[in-house]
Chain A
């Protein structure tokens, strides 16, 4: 069966520090991968999606970036965090018509 992992589960970082969140998928190959952000009490905001290694599409211009160095690995990064980057970050993968979500990373920027 397919499994999706995210880490860390929680993270507290100061403003201006770098960020690296990792997501890996098991049990499937060549999945579409997604990064979402959910601000407190808000809906889902699609940040990036990827249809293959090295192929990243950005939905929202900001100080975040994403990379896909391996087929089942998706990384969300920032060189300098802002207070507004706080939120709940969700990774997801999809087959033809359904998305499967990881457990999420709670990021607090102080």
Chain B
């Protein structure tokens, strides 16, 4: 079946460090892939997405590339800020059922000044 696996958190980094949050998936067909972010006490916001293999989604300095050969969609940022502290969710679209999203467990990111 379809599933998403994310690296466990929390991930703690210093400001200006390089960030990678790993995400791998299993899916039939060609799903779209997403990263959502949840700031403390808020709902989720779409951070970036990619709809086909080799697409790169990017937003606010974050990037992720849809790698079909490794079934991965790792989130990266070159220089993190304290304001990036949040929970990050990887997800894929469930194309066989009204495009429901299959969610990873979320990775909490803590950035220290």
Name the CB-closest residue of A to B95: A97
- Residues of chain A within 8 A of B99, CB atoms compared: 32, 94, 96-97
User: Given contacts A32-B98, A97-B51, are A43 and B105 in contact (CB under 8 A)?
Assistant: yes
Query: B77 near A: Cβ within 8 Å?
Result: no
> At the interface, is chain A mostly helix, strand, loop or mixed?
strand
Interface residues of B in 92-113 (CB under 8 A from A): 93, 98-101, 103-106, 108
> At the interface, is chain B mostly helix, strand, loop or mixed?
strand
B interface bracket (residues with beta carbon within 8 Å of A):
20 to 34
Q: Please tell me if the beta carbons of B103 and A98 are within 8 angstroms of each other in the complex.
A: no
- Residues of chain B within 8 A of A104, CB atoms compared: 41-43
- Residues of chain A within 8 A of B105, CB atoms compared: 42-43
Q: How far is the CB of B49 from chain A (nearest CB, A)?
A: 7
A10 to B107, CA, bound (A): 24
- Residues of chain B within 8 A of A32, CB atoms compared: 98-100
Contact for A44 among B32, B34, B98, B103, CB less than 8 A: B103
Name the CB-closest residue of A to B104: A43
Q: Please tell me if the beta carbons of B104 and A97 are within 8 angstroms of each other in the complex.
A: no
A98 to B100, CA, bound (A): 9
A46 to B89, CA, bound (A): 14
- Residues of chain B within 8 A of A102, CB atoms compared: 43
Interface residues of B in 25-76 (CB under 8 A from A): 32, 34, 36, 41-46, 49, 51
Binding site for B on A (CB under 8 A): 32, 34, 41-44, 46, 49, 51, 90, 92, 94, 96-104, 106
Binding site for A on B (CB under 8 A): 32, 34, 36, 41-46, 49, 51, 89, 93, 98-101, 103-106, 108
